[in-house]
Structure 1
Amino acid sequence: MEFLADYFDGISARAKHVKVRVLESDRVIVLEPLDDVALSEVAILPSFNATIPFSDLNIQPKLGKARRIIELPEGGTLEAADIFGLDALISQTKETSFWRYLHYLENHLQWVFFALVLTVFAGWALLKYGIPLLAEEVARATPVATEKALGEQVLAGMDHQYGYFKPSQIPQLHQDAIRKQLVTVCSKLPSGCPEYQLEFRTSEAIGANAFTLPGGFIVVTDALIKLSKNDDEVIAVLAHEMGHAHYRHPFRQTLQGALAGLTLAAVTGDVSSLASGLPAILLQLSYSRSMETEADQYALNALHTSCIQPHVFADILARLTKQAGVDSVPEIVSSHPDTQARIKPFNQAWQDCPI
């Protein structure tokens, strides 16, 4: 058995044309120069008219209809259109069988299409289910102090570097009154509120809004306070945000975004998408339906223990939805297209509290 091949010495990109004779009985190959190889080139070819044992050869697996590559000792390689079963002579191991089967699959379009569909489905399942579960476990194992340090950096960036916020114009007495009422609500909860820090800001970019950053930093904008008809509506929104802080939703969402970005970068090889600022990412993230439900239930319980009628949350949520434009939906209403179904539990009156 013999075949023609191009020899590369591993130093020069120039190929040397050779003939490869396969001696099956001796389990060796012999390289012979062809007539068009100059005598000066013969000297640098490996062991001409000598033998190279099968054990010193490493044959790379088939890749479609690409030329086969045989790695030789001391860095040389052979490339051939067909090696006529040399790989079968060298090894009959399971590994060889695997690569032979893989070569069969990649040369049949229906199996290639099936593999593509399976890959897309696996990627979707990883992003939708795997990464959220992993993010939850990582968040649970991360110290609160670490999360708080992240929140401080993000808030500082929003205040200065990214210019989302300006100092609040709400009178200090009004701010203090809201803070005091929120402390009262927290004191009546059986487990109290999580550690938090309430921040008042004005922002033309996000309008009437309230959201929570990692570490319990709750930001409420002047526009939302002005939109509310009373402080009970503001407290209801803050109770919802307190629910996000309690369950560490912002940190989990941040981890999910980072893990998803790393996964996509690993698959596509594009790491430039990870260079965007974390504040912009946080503002664009939408909580999952289950996270919003948890935060809503936390707010409902907080309003009940403080005897604040729950319809105040429904009222301001409906007002926010009505006011919001297509491109400026507040975070608190962005992840639920069916606002009416979401606020249904709040359209009630506590029977054990004065109306």
Structure 2
Amino acid sequence: MQNFEVDFFDGISSKKESLFLHVDNNRIYFPKKNWAFSLKEIRICPKIANISQTIELPNGGHCILKKEDTLRLNNSFVFWMESKLIYSIISLVFIIGFIIFTLTYGSSWTAKIIANSMSQSAYESLGNVSFEFLEEHYLEPSELDGKIKEKIRLSFKKIAPPNAKLHFYKSPILKENALALPSGDIIMLDDLVLKDQDKSLMGIVGVLAHEIGHIEEKHSMQNIIKTSIVGFLSAYFIGDFSGTLASLGAGIVSLSYSREFEQEADKKAISIMKQHNYPITPLIKLFEALKKEEHESKLFSTHPLFKERIDFLKKSIP
């Protein structure tokens, strides 16, 4: 049994009253008032450092223990930590450090693990959400000549994995761009196709090989997961989750690939092109043409570091 002298406040006036309370068999007793409450009915505020502990009662009142007293329901580690200011500070620093790690390096590490463990149905679902978002906000029906589309599709079929699907659209906003969705859908935009001066459109085939690299390395899914990690943590502290779900589709457009992701996709593109004896030079020329319009092209919002990438592609040519 634990016995304490407390200052009681009825919650109506500021007048305090000195009372004794006893804790026994998961119940708390106030003999003077003839009150008895189960521990489930009351709220015991944890004692932190030298701050007096407070007990909130179901009748609207509350009582405050003496600074030197602590109502212990058990000898838990958490309770011991809360009573030591230095350990409380260390715990706070650890929590802040964990959040910072999660928002930076930790989010990338976590996203990769989650992306590699997700089912194909999850990829399809998130890909569909992204596709619907793009169609609603960014995409319009393609105006490319049917023969050009067919030429690209024939080359695409030779290099594409079973789950990859090619779609043609135009976009006044995204302009010269191509996007790979988690589901394996690749969106090729008209303006980018028209920039390729190669008669066989091998520059576009190279871009498709690059997008296949993003799909096989699960880059877009990792970007979406990273967006969700940051979004859900932010929403937790702000208390508003409405914008978090919307960010899943928007993440495909708004997030750029990292240098690491771009290099992985470029390596995959080079491997695919060489495997099918396709020239890499048309892709380099397409990138160089786009680089000249860097200040106008939306492609650079999602594909940064073009000079570095062009140099990398050139080194792959014997």
Superposition TM-score tier, normalisation by shorter sequence: 0.7 to 0.9
Q: 1:79 is paired with a residue of what secondary structure?
A: strand
Per-residue displacement from partner, 1:166-208 (whole Å, max 9, x unpaired)? 1111100011011112223x2xxxxx63521111111001111
Contact 1:6 1:15 in 2 (8 A): yes
1:62 equivalent to 2:69? Answer no
Contact 1:150 1:215 in 2 (8 A): yes
**Alpha-carbon distance between aligned partners in 1 of 2:256 and 2:283, rounded to the nearest angstrom:** 19
Contact 1:225 1:234 in 2 (8 A): yes
Q: 1:94 to 1:259 in 2, by over 3 A?
A: closer
Provide the residue aligned with 1:223 in structure 2: 191
Q: 1:61 is paired with a residue of what secondary structure?
A: coil
1:181 equivalent to 2:158? Answer no
1:20 equivalent to 2:5? Answer no
**Alpha-carbon distance between aligned partners in 2 of 1:240 and 1:6, rounded to the nearest angstrom:** 70
C-alpha deviation, 1:146, in angstroms: 3.7
Q: 1:85 is paired with a residue of what secondary structure?
A: coil
C-alpha deviation, 1:348, in angstroms: 4.4
Q: 1:79 to 1:327 in 2, by over 3 A?
A: farther
Provide the residue aligned with 2:256 in structure 1: 286
Provide the residue aligned with 1:189 in structure 2: none
Equivalent of residue 85 in structure 1, options 68, 79, 83:
68
Contact 2:253 2:302 in 1 (8 A): no
Percent of matched pairs sharing the same residue: 21
Per-residue displacement from partner, 1:107-164 (whole Å, max 9, x unpaired)? xxxx4xx7665444321211333333333333333332442243234323422x32x1
C-alpha deviation, 1:249, in angstroms: 1.8
- The 5 A counterparts of 1:1-355 are 4-8=7-11, 17-21=16-20, 46-47=33-34, 59-63=44-48, 68-71=53-56, 77-80=61-64, 83-87=66-70, 93=75, 95=77, 96-102=79-85, 111=89, 118-159=94-135, 161-162=136-137, 164-184=138-158, 186=159, 193-230=161-198, 231-276=201-246, 278-325=248-295, 328-330=298-300, 333-334=303-304, 336=305, 339-348=306-315, 350-351=317-318
Letter aligned with residue 222 of structure 1: D
Per-residue displacement from partner, 1:308-332 (whole Å, max 9, x unpaired)? 3323323222332331337934355
**Alpha-carbon distance between aligned partners in 1 of 2:74 and 2:247, rounded to the nearest angstrom:** 53
Per-residue displacement from partner, 1:58-81 (whole Å, max 9, x unpaired)? 753235786631255x6665333x
Q: Which structure has the bigger radius of gyration? A: 1
**Alpha-carbon distance between aligned partners in 2 of 1:127 and 1:139, rounded to the nearest angstrom:** 17
Q: 1:241 to 1:273 in 2, by over 3 A?
A: same
Calculate the TM-score normalised by the size of structure 1: 0.72
Contact 2:8 2:17 in 1 (8 A): yes
Contact 2:10 2:62 in 1 (8 A): yes
How many residues are treated as equivalent by the alignment?
306
Contact 1:207 1:224 in 2 (8 A): yes
Calculate the TM-score normalised by the size of structure 2: 0.79
Letter aligned with residue 274 of structure 1: T
**Alpha-carbon distance between aligned partners in 2 of 1:274 and 1:5, rounded to the nearest angstrom:** 45
Q: 2:278 is paired with a residue of what secondary structure?
A: coil
**Alpha-carbon distance between aligned partners in 1 of 2:166 and 2:307, rounded to the nearest angstrom:** 28
Contact 1:3 1:84 in 2 (8 A): no
Per-residue displacement from partner, 1:204-245 (whole Å, max 9, x unpaired)? 011111110121111111111112222111111111001111
Per-residue displacement from partner, 1:28-85 (whole Å, max 9, x unpaired)? 98676xxxxxxxxxxxxx328xx99x9x99753235786631255x6665333x6143
CA RMSD of aligned residues (A): 3.6
Q: 1:332 to 1:180 in 2, by over 3 A?
A: farther
Contact 1:210 1:220 in 2 (8 A): yes
